[in-house]
Amino acid sequence: MNDPNGPIFVNGRYHMFFQYNPGGAFWGSMHWAHASSPDMIHWHHEPIALAPTPGGYDRYGVFSGSAVLDGGKPTVIYTGVEPPSYRGEATLRDGLHAWREVQCLAVSDSSLRVWRKAPKPVIPNPPPGLAVTGFRDPCVWREGGDWMLALGSGVRGKGGSILLYRSPDLRRWTYLHPLAEGRAVGQAANPVDSGEMWECPDFFPLGDRYVLLISTMGKVFWKTGRYREQRFHPEREGTVDFGAYYAAKSMLDRHGRRVLWGWIPERRPEKSYRAAGWAGVMSLPRIVSLAPDGSLRMEPAPAVEVLRRRHVHTGGMGASKDQGSLTAMRIHNLAAELQVELIPERSGSFLLQLLLDRGEPFAEVRYKRENLGRELRLNRTHASLPTRAGDPIMLRLFLDGSVLELFANAVTTITERVYSVPQGPLRIVLQGEVGVNSVDLWQMQLASEASPALQ
Protein backbone atom coordinates (compact mmCIF):
# COMPACT_ATOMS: atom_id res chain seq x y z
CA MET A 1 0.00 0.00 0.00
CA ASN A 2 0.99 3.61 -0.40
CA ASP A 3 -0.79 6.99 -0.77
CA PRO A 4 -3.85 7.76 1.39
CA ASN A 5 -6.75 8.72 -0.90
CA GLY A 6 -10.00 10.52 -0.23
CA PRO A 7 -10.26 10.24 3.58
CA ILE A 8 -13.77 11.33 4.56
CA PHE A 9 -16.17 11.19 7.54
CA VAL A 10 -19.63 9.95 6.48
CA ASN A 11 -22.59 8.80 8.58
CA GLY A 12 -20.61 8.42 11.79
CA ARG A 13 -17.67 6.51 10.29
CA TYR A 14 -14.28 7.45 8.92
CA HIS A 15 -13.48 6.07 5.48
CA MET A 16 -9.95 5.74 4.18
CA PHE A 17 -9.07 4.77 0.64
CA PHE A 18 -5.47 4.08 -0.26
CA GLN A 19 -3.25 2.94 -3.09
CA TYR A 20 -2.98 -0.85 -3.05
CA ASN A 21 -1.54 -3.56 -5.25
CA PRO A 22 -3.49 -6.81 -4.66
CA GLY A 23 -0.86 -8.67 -6.67
CA GLY A 24 1.92 -8.43 -4.11
CA ALA A 25 3.99 -6.39 -1.67
CA PHE A 26 5.44 -4.14 -4.37
CA TRP A 27 4.31 -1.33 -6.64
CA GLY A 28 2.20 -2.64 -9.49
CA SER A 29 -1.42 -2.49 -10.69
CA MET A 30 -2.72 0.16 -8.33
CA HIS A 31 -6.26 -0.08 -6.94
CA TRP A 32 -8.16 1.91 -4.32
CA ALA A 33 -8.40 -0.24 -1.22
CA HIS A 34 -10.95 0.82 1.42
CA ALA A 35 -11.11 0.66 5.21
CA SER A 36 -13.58 2.23 7.65
CA SER A 37 -13.40 3.11 11.33
CA PRO A 38 -15.52 4.58 14.14
CA ASP A 39 -12.54 6.38 15.70
CA MET A 40 -9.59 6.66 13.23
CA ILE A 41 -7.71 3.98 15.23
CA HIS A 42 -9.57 0.67 14.88
CA TRP A 43 -10.03 -0.08 11.18
CA HIS A 44 -12.14 -2.65 9.33
CA HIS A 45 -11.15 -3.64 5.80
CA GLU A 46 -13.92 -3.16 3.25
CA PRO A 47 -14.08 -4.55 -0.30
CA ILE A 48 -11.74 -2.92 -2.82
CA ALA A 49 -13.43 0.28 -3.96
CA LEU A 50 -11.88 0.92 -7.38
CA ALA A 51 -9.96 -1.34 -9.74
CA PRO A 52 -8.55 -0.68 -13.22
CA THR A 53 -11.13 -1.36 -15.92
CA PRO A 54 -9.70 -3.65 -18.63
CA GLY A 55 -9.53 -1.65 -21.83
CA GLY A 56 -10.75 1.46 -20.00
CA TYR A 57 -9.26 4.88 -19.41
CA ASP A 58 -7.75 3.66 -16.11
CA ARG A 59 -6.56 0.29 -17.41
CA TYR A 60 -2.97 0.86 -16.19
CA GLY A 61 -3.92 2.00 -12.70
CA VAL A 62 -6.28 3.85 -10.40
CA PHE A 63 -4.03 6.57 -8.99
CA SER A 64 -4.58 9.06 -6.16
CA GLY A 65 -7.45 11.49 -5.65
CA SER A 66 -10.13 12.91 -3.37
CA ALA A 67 -13.58 12.09 -1.98
CA VAL A 68 -16.40 14.61 -1.45
CA LEU A 69 -20.15 14.60 -0.80
CA ASP A 70 -22.05 16.01 -3.78
CA GLY A 71 -25.61 16.61 -2.67
CA GLY A 72 -25.10 13.84 -0.13
CA LYS A 73 -23.70 11.40 -2.71
CA PRO A 74 -20.17 10.11 -2.06
CA THR A 75 -18.13 11.05 -5.12
CA VAL A 76 -14.46 10.51 -5.88
CA ILE A 77 -12.25 12.14 -8.46
CA TYR A 78 -9.03 10.29 -9.16
CA THR A 79 -6.29 9.94 -11.75
CA GLY A 80 -6.61 7.10 -14.22
CA VAL A 81 -3.63 5.88 -16.24
CA GLU A 82 -3.69 4.50 -19.78
CA PRO A 83 -1.25 4.14 -22.68
CA PRO A 84 -0.87 7.27 -24.83
CA SER A 85 -2.19 7.25 -28.39
CA TYR A 86 1.02 8.95 -29.51
CA ARG A 87 4.27 9.90 -27.82
CA GLY A 88 3.38 13.54 -27.19
CA GLU A 89 0.22 12.54 -25.29
CA ALA A 90 2.19 11.00 -22.41
CA THR A 91 2.10 13.09 -19.24
CA LEU A 92 3.93 10.68 -16.90
CA ARG A 93 7.55 10.01 -17.80
CA ASP A 94 9.64 8.72 -14.93
CA GLY A 95 12.45 6.95 -16.75
CA LEU A 96 10.51 3.65 -16.79
CA HIS A 97 7.02 4.54 -18.01
CA ALA A 98 5.45 6.83 -20.58
CA TRP A 99 1.75 6.99 -19.70
CA ARG A 100 -1.23 9.24 -20.22
CA GLU A 101 -2.93 10.54 -17.05
CA VAL A 102 -6.61 11.54 -17.04
CA GLN A 103 -8.92 12.68 -14.27
CA CYS A 104 -11.87 10.39 -13.59
CA LEU A 105 -15.07 10.37 -11.51
CA ALA A 106 -17.00 7.65 -9.69
CA VAL A 107 -20.15 7.81 -7.52
CA SER A 108 -21.35 5.53 -4.70
CA ASP A 109 -24.30 5.13 -2.37
CA SER A 110 -24.11 5.74 1.37
CA SER A 111 -22.25 2.45 1.96
CA LEU A 112 -19.22 3.63 -0.06
CA ARG A 113 -18.75 -0.01 -1.10
CA VAL A 114 -20.02 -0.05 -4.69
CA TRP A 115 -18.80 2.62 -7.11
CA ARG A 116 -20.04 3.53 -10.60
CA LYS A 117 -17.47 5.12 -12.87
CA ALA A 118 -18.33 7.92 -15.30
CA PRO A 119 -18.20 6.72 -18.93
CA LYS A 120 -15.32 9.02 -19.83
CA PRO A 121 -12.69 11.14 -18.05
CA VAL A 122 -13.90 14.47 -16.68
CA ILE A 123 -10.52 16.12 -17.45
CA PRO A 124 -8.97 14.24 -20.37
CA ASN A 125 -5.99 16.48 -21.21
CA PRO A 126 -3.66 19.06 -19.68
CA PRO A 127 -4.20 22.72 -20.56
CA PRO A 128 -3.04 23.37 -24.13
CA GLY A 129 0.38 24.86 -24.53
CA LEU A 130 1.83 23.51 -21.26
CA ALA A 131 4.70 21.02 -21.46
CA VAL A 132 3.66 19.31 -18.22
CA THR A 133 5.92 17.01 -16.22
CA GLY A 134 2.93 15.27 -14.64
CA PHE A 135 -0.85 15.55 -14.42
CA ARG A 136 -2.30 13.76 -11.41
CA ASP A 137 -3.69 13.52 -7.85
CA PRO A 138 -6.71 15.88 -7.84
CA CYS A 139 -7.64 17.71 -4.63
CA VAL A 140 -11.29 18.87 -4.64
CA TRP A 141 -13.22 21.33 -2.46
CA ARG A 142 -16.38 23.43 -2.48
CA GLU A 143 -16.03 27.20 -2.89
CA GLY A 144 -19.28 29.16 -2.91
CA GLY A 145 -21.46 27.69 -5.63
CA ASP A 146 -18.55 26.08 -7.48
CA TRP A 147 -16.30 23.10 -7.13
CA MET A 148 -12.57 23.71 -7.26
CA LEU A 149 -9.82 21.24 -8.16
CA ALA A 150 -6.07 21.51 -7.63
CA LEU A 151 -3.95 19.14 -9.69
CA GLY A 152 -0.34 18.10 -9.22
CA SER A 153 1.85 19.04 -12.15
CA GLY A 154 4.91 20.93 -13.31
CA VAL A 155 6.20 22.65 -16.42
CA ARG A 156 9.34 21.40 -18.09
CA GLY A 157 12.18 23.81 -17.46
CA LYS A 158 10.13 25.97 -15.06
CA GLY A 159 9.55 23.77 -12.01
CA GLY A 160 6.65 22.27 -10.08
CA SER A 161 3.14 23.67 -10.43
CA ILE A 162 -0.37 23.17 -9.04
CA LEU A 163 -3.04 23.67 -11.72
CA LEU A 164 -6.41 25.14 -10.66
CA TYR A 165 -9.76 24.18 -12.20
CA ARG A 166 -13.38 25.21 -11.57
CA SER A 167 -16.66 23.33 -12.19
CA PRO A 168 -20.38 23.78 -11.50
CA ASP A 169 -21.04 20.04 -11.18
CA LEU A 170 -17.79 18.00 -10.78
CA ARG A 171 -18.09 16.91 -14.42
CA ARG A 172 -17.47 19.98 -16.57
CA TRP A 173 -14.13 21.55 -15.65
CA THR A 174 -12.52 24.79 -16.79
CA TYR A 175 -8.83 25.43 -16.32
CA LEU A 176 -8.15 28.79 -14.65
CA HIS A 177 -4.43 29.25 -13.92
CA PRO A 178 -1.69 27.89 -11.65
CA LEU A 179 -2.65 27.98 -7.99
CA ALA A 180 1.04 27.99 -7.06
CA GLU A 181 4.31 27.61 -8.96
CA GLY A 182 7.87 26.62 -8.18
CA ARG A 183 11.05 27.65 -9.90
CA ALA A 184 13.42 26.08 -12.39
CA VAL A 185 15.37 23.15 -10.97
CA GLY A 186 17.78 20.54 -12.23
CA GLN A 187 16.76 17.74 -14.55
CA ALA A 188 16.21 14.11 -13.54
CA ALA A 189 14.82 11.00 -15.23
CA ASN A 190 11.85 11.26 -12.86
CA PRO A 191 10.85 14.95 -12.49
CA VAL A 192 9.46 14.25 -9.00
CA ASP A 193 12.99 13.47 -7.83
CA SER A 194 14.28 16.91 -8.86
CA GLY A 195 11.25 18.95 -7.77
CA GLU A 196 10.17 19.70 -11.34
CA MET A 197 6.90 17.87 -10.60
CA TRP A 198 4.72 18.48 -7.51
CA GLU A 199 2.42 15.56 -6.78
CA CYS A 200 -0.30 14.79 -4.20
CA PRO A 201 -1.38 18.42 -3.56
CA ASP A 202 -3.68 19.18 -0.64
CA PHE A 203 -5.18 22.64 -0.17
CA PHE A 204 -7.38 23.78 2.70
CA PRO A 205 -8.26 26.73 4.97
CA LEU A 206 -6.78 26.78 8.47
CA GLY A 207 -7.40 29.60 10.89
CA ASP A 208 -7.02 32.88 9.01
CA ARG A 209 -4.81 31.38 6.30
CA TYR A 210 -4.67 28.60 3.72
CA VAL A 211 -2.31 25.65 3.62
CA LEU A 212 -0.86 24.00 0.54
CA LEU A 213 0.88 20.63 0.86
CA ILE A 214 2.98 19.20 -1.96
CA SER A 215 4.96 15.97 -2.24
CA THR A 216 8.22 16.07 -4.17
CA MET A 217 11.88 15.08 -3.79
CA GLY A 218 10.85 12.35 -1.34
CA LYS A 219 9.29 14.73 1.20
CA VAL A 220 6.04 16.55 1.96
CA PHE A 221 6.41 20.33 2.13
CA TRP A 222 3.93 22.84 3.56
CA LYS A 223 3.23 26.41 2.56
CA THR A 224 0.91 28.75 4.47
CA GLY A 225 -0.39 32.06 3.21
CA ARG A 226 -3.35 33.97 1.79
CA TYR A 227 -5.85 32.89 -0.87
CA ARG A 228 -7.28 35.81 -2.83
CA GLU A 229 -9.05 35.86 -6.18
CA GLN A 230 -8.40 32.14 -6.49
CA ARG A 231 -4.64 32.55 -6.27
CA PHE A 232 -2.49 31.34 -3.39
CA HIS A 233 0.12 33.73 -1.98
CA PRO A 234 2.60 31.80 0.22
CA GLU A 235 4.06 33.54 3.27
CA ARG A 236 5.82 30.76 5.17
CA GLU A 237 7.00 27.26 4.27
CA GLY A 238 8.58 24.21 5.81
CA THR A 239 8.77 20.40 5.90
CA VAL A 240 5.86 18.30 7.19
CA ASP A 241 8.06 15.36 8.19
CA PHE A 242 11.81 14.96 7.77
CA GLY A 243 11.76 11.16 7.61
CA ALA A 244 9.87 8.31 5.95
CA TYR A 245 6.60 10.11 5.19
CA TYR A 246 4.96 10.96 1.87
CA ALA A 247 1.76 11.75 -0.08
CA ALA A 248 -0.01 13.46 2.84
CA LYS A 249 -3.78 13.93 2.60
CA SER A 250 -6.11 15.72 5.02
CA MET A 251 -9.74 15.58 6.11
CA LEU A 252 -12.06 17.06 8.74
CA ASP A 253 -12.88 14.82 11.70
CA ARG A 254 -16.23 14.63 13.48
CA HIS A 255 -15.26 17.69 15.55
CA GLY A 256 -14.26 19.82 12.56
CA ARG A 257 -10.52 19.53 13.22
CA ARG A 258 -8.11 19.20 10.30
CA VAL A 259 -6.55 15.70 10.38
CA LEU A 260 -3.53 14.78 8.29
CA TRP A 261 -2.64 11.29 7.08
CA GLY A 262 0.57 10.16 5.40
CA TRP A 263 2.08 7.07 3.83
CA ILE A 264 5.10 5.65 5.67
CA PRO A 265 7.18 3.91 2.98
CA GLU A 266 9.66 1.11 3.49
CA ARG A 267 13.33 1.80 4.14
CA ARG A 268 14.48 -1.79 3.52
CA PRO A 269 15.45 -3.38 0.19
CA GLU A 270 12.62 -4.47 -2.09
CA LYS A 271 13.70 -8.11 -1.87
CA SER A 272 13.18 -7.90 1.91
CA TYR A 273 9.62 -6.62 1.80
CA ARG A 274 8.71 -8.93 -1.06
CA ALA A 275 9.86 -11.79 1.15
CA ALA A 276 8.00 -10.36 4.17
CA GLY A 277 4.80 -10.19 2.14
CA TRP A 278 3.84 -6.65 3.12
CA ALA A 279 4.99 -3.09 2.42
CA GLY A 280 3.74 0.34 3.44
CA VAL A 281 2.12 1.69 6.60
CA MET A 282 -0.34 4.51 7.27
CA SER A 283 0.81 7.13 9.77
CA LEU A 284 -0.99 7.99 12.97
CA PRO A 285 -3.61 10.70 12.45
CA ARG A 286 -2.19 14.18 13.10
CA ILE A 287 -4.11 17.31 14.05
CA VAL A 288 -2.73 20.33 12.21
CA SER A 289 -3.08 23.93 13.36
CA LEU A 290 -1.37 27.28 12.89
CA ALA A 291 1.25 28.73 15.21
CA PRO A 292 0.99 32.49 15.97
CA ASP A 293 3.62 33.21 13.31
CA GLY A 294 1.63 31.35 10.64
CA SER A 295 3.78 28.20 10.57
CA LEU A 296 2.25 24.74 10.65
CA ARG A 297 1.89 22.78 13.90
CA MET A 298 1.26 19.02 14.08
CA GLU A 299 0.27 16.86 17.03
CA PRO A 300 -0.96 13.28 17.33
CA ALA A 301 -4.75 13.16 17.32
CA PRO A 302 -6.19 12.62 20.84
CA ALA A 303 -7.84 9.48 19.43
CA VAL A 304 -4.52 7.59 19.73
CA GLU A 305 -4.75 7.80 23.52
CA VAL A 306 -7.45 5.10 23.49
CA LEU A 307 -4.61 2.59 23.03
CA ARG A 308 -2.78 3.61 26.22
CA ARG A 309 -2.47 0.89 28.83
CA ARG A 310 0.04 0.53 31.68
CA HIS A 311 1.46 3.94 32.64
CA VAL A 312 4.74 4.79 34.38
CA HIS A 313 5.52 8.40 35.38
CA THR A 314 8.68 10.05 36.68
CA GLY A 315 8.79 13.68 37.84
CA GLY A 316 11.59 16.22 37.68
CA MET A 317 15.05 14.70 37.99
CA GLY A 318 17.40 17.65 37.54
CA ALA A 319 20.29 17.30 35.14
CA SER A 320 20.11 14.06 33.19
CA LYS A 321 23.87 13.56 33.51
CA ASP A 322 23.22 12.88 37.20
CA GLN A 323 20.26 10.52 36.87
CA GLY A 324 21.59 7.93 34.39
CA SER A 325 19.18 5.21 33.33
CA LEU A 326 15.44 5.46 33.95
CA THR A 327 15.63 2.05 35.57
CA ALA A 328 11.93 1.56 36.32
CA MET A 329 10.76 1.91 32.73
CA ARG A 330 10.60 -0.82 30.11
CA ILE A 331 9.02 -0.93 26.66
CA HIS A 332 7.50 -4.31 25.79
CA ASN A 333 6.44 -5.73 22.42
CA LEU A 334 7.60 -2.67 20.44
CA ALA A 335 4.33 -0.86 21.24
CA ALA A 336 4.60 2.28 23.38
CA GLU A 337 4.19 6.03 23.69
CA LEU A 338 7.01 7.91 25.40
CA GLN A 339 6.54 11.55 26.42
CA VAL A 340 9.51 13.51 27.79
CA GLU A 341 9.68 17.20 28.78
CA LEU A 342 13.25 18.54 28.89
CA ILE A 343 14.98 21.87 29.43
CA PRO A 344 18.40 21.92 27.72
CA GLU A 345 21.12 24.10 29.16
CA ARG A 346 21.96 27.13 27.01
CA SER A 347 24.80 25.42 25.18
CA GLY A 348 23.72 21.89 25.96
CA SER A 349 22.89 18.76 24.03
CA PHE A 350 21.25 15.50 25.00
CA LEU A 351 20.90 11.90 23.91
CA LEU A 352 17.76 9.83 24.52
CA GLN A 353 18.26 6.14 23.80
CA LEU A 354 16.12 3.03 23.62
CA LEU A 355 18.42 0.12 24.42
CA LEU A 356 18.24 -3.61 24.85
CA ASP A 357 18.93 -4.75 28.38
CA ARG A 358 22.37 -5.87 27.20
CA GLY A 359 23.07 -2.32 26.01
CA GLU A 360 22.70 -2.71 22.24
CA PRO A 361 21.05 0.38 20.68
CA PHE A 362 17.60 0.19 19.10
CA ALA A 363 16.83 3.88 18.57
CA GLU A 364 18.24 7.22 19.67
CA VAL A 365 17.17 10.85 19.65
CA ARG A 366 19.97 13.45 19.65
CA TYR A 367 19.66 17.19 20.18
CA LYS A 368 22.47 19.67 19.77
CA ARG A 369 23.18 23.30 19.08
CA GLU A 370 24.50 24.16 15.63
CA ASN A 371 25.95 27.36 14.17
CA LEU A 372 22.76 28.03 12.24
CA GLY A 373 20.27 26.75 14.78
CA ARG A 374 19.31 23.61 16.65
CA GLU A 375 19.30 20.10 15.25
CA LEU A 376 17.21 17.09 16.22
CA ARG A 377 18.13 13.63 14.96
CA LEU A 378 16.22 10.37 15.12
CA ASN A 379 18.67 7.60 14.23
CA ARG A 380 20.03 8.69 10.82
CA THR A 381 17.42 11.34 10.04
CA HIS A 382 18.27 14.99 10.76
CA ALA A 383 15.77 17.83 11.27
CA SER A 384 15.80 21.46 12.34
CA LEU A 385 14.07 22.31 15.63
CA PRO A 386 13.15 25.98 16.03
CA THR A 387 13.50 26.78 19.74
CA ARG A 388 14.95 29.59 21.83
CA ALA A 389 17.63 29.05 24.45
CA GLY A 390 16.02 27.99 27.70
CA ASP A 391 12.74 26.90 26.13
CA PRO A 392 11.49 23.45 27.17
CA ILE A 393 11.40 20.66 24.59
CA MET A 394 8.45 18.29 24.59
CA LEU A 395 9.11 15.00 22.81
CA ARG A 396 6.38 12.48 22.00
CA LEU A 397 7.71 9.26 20.53
CA PHE A 398 5.40 6.51 19.27
CA LEU A 399 6.89 3.07 18.69
CA ASP A 400 4.82 0.60 16.69
CA GLY A 401 6.75 -2.39 15.39
CA SER A 402 9.16 -1.07 12.77
CA VAL A 403 7.75 2.47 12.90
CA LEU A 404 8.87 5.38 15.09
CA GLU A 405 6.98 8.69 14.88
CA LEU A 406 8.62 11.54 16.78
CA PHE A 407 6.88 14.86 17.51
CA ALA A 408 8.98 17.70 18.98
CA ASN A 409 7.20 20.79 20.33
CA ALA A 410 4.45 20.17 17.73
CA VAL A 411 6.64 21.89 15.10
CA THR A 412 9.14 19.21 14.02
CA THR A 413 8.21 15.65 13.08
CA ILE A 414 10.43 12.73 12.08
CA THR A 415 9.23 9.27 11.05
CA GLU A 416 11.83 6.50 11.02
CA ARG A 417 11.89 2.76 10.32
CA VAL A 418 13.77 0.21 12.45
CA TYR A 419 13.58 -3.41 11.34
CA SER A 420 15.53 -5.17 14.10
CA VAL A 421 13.41 -7.27 16.48
CA PRO A 422 14.81 -7.21 20.03
CA GLN A 423 14.60 -10.38 22.07
CA GLY A 424 13.25 -8.65 25.16
CA PRO A 425 12.09 -5.25 26.45
CA LEU A 426 13.74 -1.93 25.75
CA ARG A 427 15.05 0.37 28.48
CA ILE A 428 15.36 4.15 28.37
CA VAL A 429 18.60 6.07 28.92
CA LEU A 430 18.92 9.86 28.92
CA GLN A 431 22.26 11.61 28.93
CA GLY A 432 23.52 15.16 28.46
CA GLU A 433 23.32 18.75 29.62
CA VAL A 434 19.59 18.94 30.16
CA GLY A 435 17.05 19.15 32.94
CA VAL A 436 14.16 16.69 33.06
CA ASN A 437 10.71 17.98 34.00
CA SER A 438 8.83 14.73 33.46
CA VAL A 439 8.89 11.36 31.72
CA ASP A 440 5.72 9.40 30.92
CA LEU A 441 5.63 5.96 29.35
CA TRP A 442 2.51 4.10 28.24
CA GLN A 443 2.44 0.58 26.92
CA MET A 444 0.13 0.67 23.91
CA GLN A 445 -2.48 -1.92 23.03
CA LEU A 446 -2.34 -3.16 19.45
CA ALA A 447 -5.10 -1.56 17.38
CA SER A 448 -5.73 -4.96 15.81
CA GLU A 449 -6.85 -6.27 19.20
CA ALA A 450 -10.06 -4.22 19.01
CA SER A 451 -13.26 -5.66 20.38
CA PRO A 452 -15.83 -6.79 17.76
CA ALA A 453 -18.04 -3.85 18.77
CA LEU A 454 -15.47 -1.43 17.35
CA GLN A 455 -15.44 -3.16 13.98
How far apart (Å, rounded) are the C-alpha atoms in residues 427 and 443? 13
Task: Compute CA distances 50 → 63, 138, 167, 261, whole Å.
Answer: 10, 16, 23, 20
Contact between 262 and 283 under an 8 Å Cβ cutoff? The reply is yes
Q: Tell me the catalytic residues.
A: 3
Task: Give me the residues paired with residue 373 across strands.
Answer: 370
Please count the CA atoms within 13 angstroms of the CA of 24 that sit on its side-chain side. Answer: 10
3-state secondary structure string across the chain: CCCEEEEEEECCEEEEEEEECCCCCCCCCCEEEEEEECCCCCCEEEEEEECCCCCCCCCCEEEEEEEEEECCEEEEEEEEEECCCCHHHCCEECCCCEEEEEEEEEEECCCCCCEEECCCCCECCCCCCCCEEEEEEEEEEEECCEEEEEEEEEECCCEEEEEEEEECCCCCCEEEEEEEECCCCCCCCCHHHHCCCCEEEEEEEECCEEEEEEEECCEEEEEEEEEECCEEEEEEEEECCCCCCEEEEEEECCCCCEEEEEEECCCCCHHHHHHHCCCCEECCCEEEEECCCCCEEEEECHHHHHHEEEEEEECCCEEHHHHCEEEEEEECCCEEEEEEEEEECCCCCEEEEEEECCCCEEEEEEEEEECCEEEEEECCEEEECCCCCCCCEEEEEEEECCEEEEEECCCEEEEEECCCCCCCCEEEEEEECEEEEEEEEEEECCHHHCCHHHC
CA 312 to centroid of chain Cα atoms? 30
